[in-house]
A and B are shown apart, each in its own frame.
Chain A
Amino acid sequence: MTYIEYVQLSPKEKIKYKFTSFFKNLGHGFINFFVNLYFRLIRFFKGLGRSFKEVGYAFKHGNVFTKLSFLFLGVGHMASGQIIKGILILLVEALFIFYMIMTGGAAIYGFTTLGNLESYFQCLHGVPDASGNVNFVLDSNDYHFLDQSTAGEMCELLHPGESIQLTQIRCDNSFTFLLFGLLAIVIIVAFVLFYISTIKNTILLQERKQAKLHVSTFFEDIKDYLDGKFHRVLLALPILGVCVFTILPIIDMILMAFTNYNRTTSYPRFFSWIGIDNFITLFGGGMSKSGAKFGLTFVKILGWTMIWAVLATFLNYFLGMFVAMLINKKGIKFKKVFRTVLVFSIAMPQFISLLAFNKFFAKGGMIESLLKLLGLMSQNDALRILDQATSARIFIIIVNIWVGIPYTMLAVTGILMNVPEDLYESAQIDGASPFTVYTKITLPYVIFITGPKLITDFVGNINNFNVIYFLTGGNPATNDYLNAGKTDLLVTWLYKLTVNQMNYSYASVIGIMIFVICAVLSLIAYRHTSAVKNEEDFA
């Protein structure tokens, strides 16, 4: 449909058109997401192939030193005159080999099995003394028995007539196996990448030297880190932090979704790979009762999470923007006072203000006494806002508006102050009305800057832990759900599954589902935000 056609539609048809096109876009976006993923994968493998080709080229055309570099990285660098760099590279290789021999290989093996031995039993024996106390000593041969009954029998056979005691020794901690295995894989991948780029560099250096071009000295290399490679210096530490304490744990948790890491295994630290069983339970788990409950709970909570995220995000955004515009309106005095009062609410730590809300609106709380004092409620009644699903949910959304408006207000106020003055000046000269100025300059500017914020806010609200946890704790509780209450979001359910139930494998499945939902939704939205498309437009 062209623009002209669109304009000629009646308002009803316009809305209908927008509505259908939204869902069409959603579908397209969803499909595109996977198509893109496919192309990305292809591109990735093509890039990989190119890298290998270049390595092959280096082997074919390299001189002795370059060829030697395939075994001893860095030799080529030294031959080309980059002595210090060559030594450092060689050191990295030596460290890698040392690591692989010492722990890396074992770690990879451990990763595949997640440990073989859950525990074994030791036999302790001793003769009671006069007062009946027994001084137990370890059996001199220190046999390891795999199961308790055999251990008991054998122990009695070995030490007839004595008092027997069995101790269970925990052996393999599957989590450690998982973690160190993962670490080993990461290190190997990193080393392979390092290897390829070094080889590429080596042949490049050799050719430069042959062509009698300048080969950079170590000092020049270092100096380049302050200019052309300055981004590496700035990003090194933050990326390291993210890798170790964000990416590694995330991969770890993803892998946990494919294990039976929950309390039902006898020793919670000992678990093994079970494939995609957890996902099967979630989607088609009609087989067992608890499986069906898992799927049902997921669907129900997902529905409420979506309603919550949409309402919370857009109400806060538009109401906050409205308040900000109102405060910044020309001719309004005491701007600072209004702003300060609103900021008061976010200045107070959330866990205090939210808990206060919870306590004030609870049965026998401040609001109830106030209502009774004013005669709006009979003395025998109790305030039951938090006891019923619907009222509790409305309560949460309203309180969240209270939390959210000041944040949006602050963000938008800052942006409003930064709208380039000359835009307004030229609009004034052209005789634009305040309304036009608002719709054509202010609003697009604000949306331009805050567009990504809207998306991150949406994702943030899907994962909004604080508001739910402190306001209702997910209650009112219900037996229809698996370990969750009526106001629980997916993320608070996740919390309950991990911290209270220690059902880590189910929790990981939930986490992955949350991610997929957030990823699909925001990739679609992100594609349509101008701030990303035309990043440099307003600069």
Chain B
Amino acid sequence: MKLVNKQFGMEKYASIKRRRRITNTLAYVFLTLLCIIWIIPIIGVFYTALRNERGISNSFFPSKGFTFDNFARLFTDKSFTKLYPYMRWLGNTLLVAVCVMLISTLFVVSVAYTMSRLRFKSRKRLMSLNLILGMFPGFMSMIAVYNILSVLKLDGSLIALIIVYSAGSGMGFYVAKGFFDTISKSLDEAAKIDGANNAKVFFKIIFPLSKPIVVYTMLTSFMGPWVDYIFSSVIIRDKTDNYTIALGLYTLISSADREAQYFTTFFAGASLISIPIMALFLATQKYYVGGVTGGAVKG
């Protein structure tokens, strides 16, 4: 009897194993296909950037060969850079992005921590107010923001852009709050018993544990100015000197005749900024997925 049981167990085990092998193969095929689909447009962007022609009117295949001229044009072609100062756009965006990153990270982390760990009277009310505010289309108030900024004599400036990107950033605290929620409360309680006040708990205990979420927040807020078009287009308008990269690049293909001249140049400029941003993203990917507080209390 015992023997039969054991055999049965083995068989069952083998069948599970077989089934797993089949599903795994299917999963591999599916995932590989998925990856190919996902990567093609990205390759398309780089491919277009390297093409040896200027406009969109040419037929795409076969290509007339490859060149780095489109990249060179962005920096060295005087007649081009005079109209479209790519370097300047890069500098503007970098400046704005760094400032926004610092301010929003500060805002987001403090709001998220407060909402997650501290208990006070108006907490629930603030959370629902935030929810309600989030339901207004962010763009709806842009005209009013623009007018407010012009009253402050800031319209069209980079400072205005920094303000627009970072002032309301405290509202996007949900992801970070979710992170703080998963850190065990017993850490706080232990510290409190040892006589630490709320500030000390935050700076000495929780903050050092929050590296992943801080990096995550910094990353997302740093990316904002690089990828945003709509807000900067309303704020900066026609001040070409203060264009960010998205605005600037968009002008390259915003009309048919410019598109005929600069189509591949647009993709060259676009792939140039894509590369560092992608690299940044990939380098810090582990922060998204790293199990964070696994052994914080146990150990």
Contact = CB atoms under 8 A, between A and B. Distances in A.
Given A231-B114, A402-B38, A347 B230 contact: no
Nearest to B263: A359
B169 interface: yes
A356 B45 contact: yes
A99 interface: no
Interface stretch (B64-72, B79-87, B142-150): B142-150
A145 B85 CA distance: 47
Interface stretch (A109-117, A234-242, A309-317): A234-242
B35 A338 contact: yes
Given A332-B24, A418-B292, A499-B234, A360 B169 contact: no
B41 interface: yes
A350 B131 CA distance: 25
Contact of A364 (B23, B56, B234): B56
Interface string B222-248: 010011011001100000000000100
A153 B185 CA distance: 82
Contacts of B31: 323, 326-327, 332, 338
B144 A332 contact: no
Nearest to A226: B199
B39 A347 contact: no
A331 interface: yes
A230 interface: yes
A465 B38 contact: no
Nearest to A340: B282
Given A348-B45, A364-B59, A456-B134, A494 B148 contact: no
Contacts of B30: 326
Nearest to A492: B139
A249 B137 contact: no
Interface string A495-516: 1001100001001100100110
Interface in B168-184: 168-171, 174, 178, 181-182, 184
B140 interface: yes
B229 A239 contact: no
Given A347-B281, A352-B274, A413-B288, A504 B61 contact: no
B289 interface: yes
Nearest to B234: A499
A308 interface: no
Contact of B202 (A230, A340, A465, A519): A230
B204 interface: no
A247 interface: yes
Interface residues of B, number: 100
Given A231-B120, A323-B34, A491 B131 contact: no
A345 B42 contact: yes
B169 A349 contact: no
B14 interface: no
A319 to B, nearest CB: 10
B60 A366 contact: yes
Given A340-B285, A356-B267, A402 B137 contact: no
Contact of A231 (B118, B230, B280): B118
Nearest to A517: B135
B282 A329 contact: no
B140 A370 contact: no
Given A227-B198, A348-B278, A238 B148 contact: no
B277 A349 contact: yes
A165 interface: no
B84 to A, nearest CB: 16
A291 to B, nearest CB: 22
A196 to B, nearest CB: 15
Contacts of A231: 114, 118, 120, 123, 198
A77 B151 CA distance: 38
B53 to A, nearest CB: 13
A63 B298 CA distance: 57
Interface in B255-299: 263, 267, 270-271, 273-274, 277-278, 280-282, 285, 288-294
Contacts, number: 280
Contact of A349 (B62, B227, B292): B227
Most B CB contacts (10 A, CB to CB) among A237, A323, A462, A522 go to A237
Interface residues of A, number: 100
Contacts of B274: 347-349, 352
Interface string A356-374: 1101101011100110110
Nearest to A175: B147
A413 B288 CA distance: 8
B5 interface: no
A539 B182 contact: yes
A74 interface: no
A452 B277 CA distance: 28
A359 B56 contact: yes
A-B pairs, top 6 by smallest CB distance, nearest first, are: A238-B170, A249-B141, A511-B140, A249-B144, A241-B167, A245-B167
Interface of A: 175-176, 179, 226-228, 230-231, 233-235, 237-239, 241-242, 244-250, 252-253, 256, 323, 326-327, 329, 331-332, 337-353, 355-357, 359-360, 362, 364-366, 369-370, 372-373, 402, 406, 410, 413-414, 417-418, 421, 449, 452-453, 456, 459, 462-463, 465-466, 469-470, 490-491, 494-495, 498-499, 504, 507-508, 511, 514-515, 518-519, 522, 526, 535, 538-539
17 contacts: A235-B111, A245-B148, A246-B171, A249-B141, A340-B282, A343-B282, A348-B277, A349-B226, A349-B270, A351-B246, A372-B59, A402-B37, A465-B139, A490-B137, A504-B143, A507-B143, A511-B141
Interface of B: 20, 23-24, 27-28, 30-31, 34-35, 37-39, 41-42, 44-45, 48, 56-57, 59-62, 106-107, 110-111, 113-114, 118, 120, 123, 126, 131-145, 147-148, 151, 163-164, 166-171, 174, 178, 181-182, 184-185, 197-200, 202, 223, 226-227, 229-230, 233-234, 246, 249-250, 253, 263, 267, 270-271, 273-274, 277-278, 280-282, 285, 288-294
